[in-house]
């Protein structure tokens, strides 16, 4: 009887991590974010006209060009194709006034990418949200253009006007009171104008409905979760509840755009859910404080940047707990 040959031992293969893989990649996430922002961006162009379109294109072009130049100068692989630079430029554009000169939007996009991301080592290493770094740069460098570039929505009927400059509802509220802000908002009780975008404001913030629609797409795909946005809304509602116009503060300005698209940035937000709650509440409270007692009618930009600086501390304070079986050594 012949002997049965012994089974050959299987080779022991060691490979570098990550060993857990998911279908989503950095590139797919970034392009999904860009796609979810498209309806709000297109609506901004419809409401404010071709100058808003020029701002969007210029901001995205500046961000992409800076990404390409920065990676080439540092002799790194180009990351333009992953969509992160385009996302930075698009997010920045949606926070800008529709009448801002295109060259300023280009500079803002380039600054946001170079000094908000590339200088730190690229995507995943930045400390602050790059798009908001770009907006803060533009606000400090071109304050007149950033505070006077607001426009009324284009009339649907009647003679065509390139632009009619006017303050935003939050600016009118701060300078002239609630009645002046209410006159800028169409619809019953002002809710329709705030929700649909028939009001002055930044290019992408005017339609709360379309921002929420885009956020719903990201929620459905699991790209973001509601912990941070709901905490932002709770913090803002808490501070502005006695202001006489809490609904205007919740629906006006860039609160929804910031809460869903900027505060939820993976790199610049806490890792643990408990830390995310504190992070969101801090953003909401700071936004309300800046709006009510600060020098600017809007506060979400600086609130998120300040909260970004607290993220390392929140990650230390709210660390995952190690589960140890009873009786086993720690």
What per-residue confidence (pLDDT) applies to 157? Answer: 33
CATH of the domain at 55: 1.10.3430
> How far, in Å, are 231, 265, 308 from residue 278 at the CA level?
8, 15, 12
Distance CA 104, CA 234 (A): 34
Residue 17 lies in a domain: no
**Per-residue pLDDT, 178:** 62
Tokens 């973001």, located at residue? 224
| Distance separating alpha carbons of residues 304 and 301, to the nearest angstrom | 6
Length of the chain, in residues = 330
Q: How far is CA 305 from the centre of its chain?
A: 11
Give which of 20, 112, 96 is closest to 64, Cα–Cα: 112
Considering only the C-alpha atoms of the chain, give the largest distance between any 2 of them, rounded to a whole number of Å. Answer: 103
Q: Flag whether 330 is in a domain.
A: no
Q: Residue 64 to residues 86, 98, 305: CA-CA distances in angstroms?
A: 6, 21, 22
Block residue for tokens 């300023």: 104
298 in a structural domain: yes
Say what the pLDDT of residue 243 is: 78
What pLDDT, on the 0 to 100 scale, is given for residue 292?
86
Whether 4 is covered by a domain: the verdict is no
- Look up the pTM and report it: 0.84
What six digits make up the tokens of 278? 């504190």
Would you say residue 16 lies in a domain?
no
65-117 pLDDT per residue, tens: 999 998 888 888 888 888 899 999 999 999 999 999 999 999 999 999 999 99
Number of domains within the chain: 1
Q: What pLDDT score was predicted for residue 20?
A: 60
Instruction: Examine residue 328 and state whether it is found in any structural domain, yes or no.
Output: no
| Residue 62 token pair | 């500046």
CB atoms within 10 A of CB 5: 6
The domain in which residue 42 lies consists of: 27-317
Rounded Cα–Cα distance for residues 69 and 76 (Å)? 10
pLDDT number for residue 269: 93
pLDDT lower than 50: segments of the chain: 157-165, 187-189
Note whether residue 8 is domain-resident.
no
Does a structural domain hold residue 12?
Answer: no
- Residues 301 and 326: their CA atoms lie apart, in Å, by 47
pLDDT of residue 38: 93
* CA triple 177-178-180, angle to 5 deg: 75
Read out DSSP for 199-259? S---TTTS-HHHHHHHHHHHHHTTSS-SHHHHHHHHHHHHHHTTSS-HHHHHHSTTHHHII
**Is the CB of residue 169 less than 8 Å from the CB of residue 63?**
no
Coil vs helix vs strand at 8: coil
């Amino acid at each position: 009887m012949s002997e049965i040959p012994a089974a050959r031992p299987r080779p022991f293969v060691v490979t570098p991590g990550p060993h857990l893989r998911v279908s989503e990649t950095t590139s797919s996430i970034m392009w999904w974010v860009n796609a979810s922002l498209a309806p709000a961006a297109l609506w901004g162009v419809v409401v404010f006209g071709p100058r808003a379109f020029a701002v969007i294109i210029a901001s995205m072009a500046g961000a992409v060009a800076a990404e390409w130049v920065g990676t080439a100068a540092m002799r790194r692989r180009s990351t333009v194709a992953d969509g992160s630079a385009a996302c930075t430029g698009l997010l920045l554009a949606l926070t800008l006034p529709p009448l801002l000169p295109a060259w300023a939007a280009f500079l803002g996009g380039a600054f946001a990418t170079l000094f908000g991301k590339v200088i730190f080592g690229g995507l995943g290493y930045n400390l602050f949200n790059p798009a908001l770094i770009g907006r803060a740069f533009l606000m400090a460098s071109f304050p007149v253009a950033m505070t006077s570039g607001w426009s009324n929505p284009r009339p649907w009927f009647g003679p065509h006007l390139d632009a009619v400059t006017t303050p935003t509802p939050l600016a009118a509220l701060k300078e002239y009171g609630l009645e002046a802000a209410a006159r800028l908002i169409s619809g019953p009780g002002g809710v329709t104008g705030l929700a649909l975008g028939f009001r002055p404001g930044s290019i992408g913030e005017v339609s709360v409905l379309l921002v929420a629609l885009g956020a719903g797409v990201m929620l459905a795909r699991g790209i973001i979760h509601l912990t941070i946005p709901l905490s932002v809304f709770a913090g803002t509602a808490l501070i502005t509840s006695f202001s006489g116009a809490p609904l205007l503060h919740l629906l006006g300005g860039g609160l929804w755009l910031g809460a869903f698209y900027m505060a939820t940035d993976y790199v610049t937000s806490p890792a643990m859910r408990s830390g995310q709650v504190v992070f969101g509440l801090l953003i909401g409270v700071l936004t309300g404080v800046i709006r009510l007692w600060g020098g600017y009618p809007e506060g979400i930009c600086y609130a998120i940047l300040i909260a970004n600086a607290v993220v390392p501390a929140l990650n230390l304070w709210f660390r995952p707990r190690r589960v140890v079986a009873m009786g086993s050594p720690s």
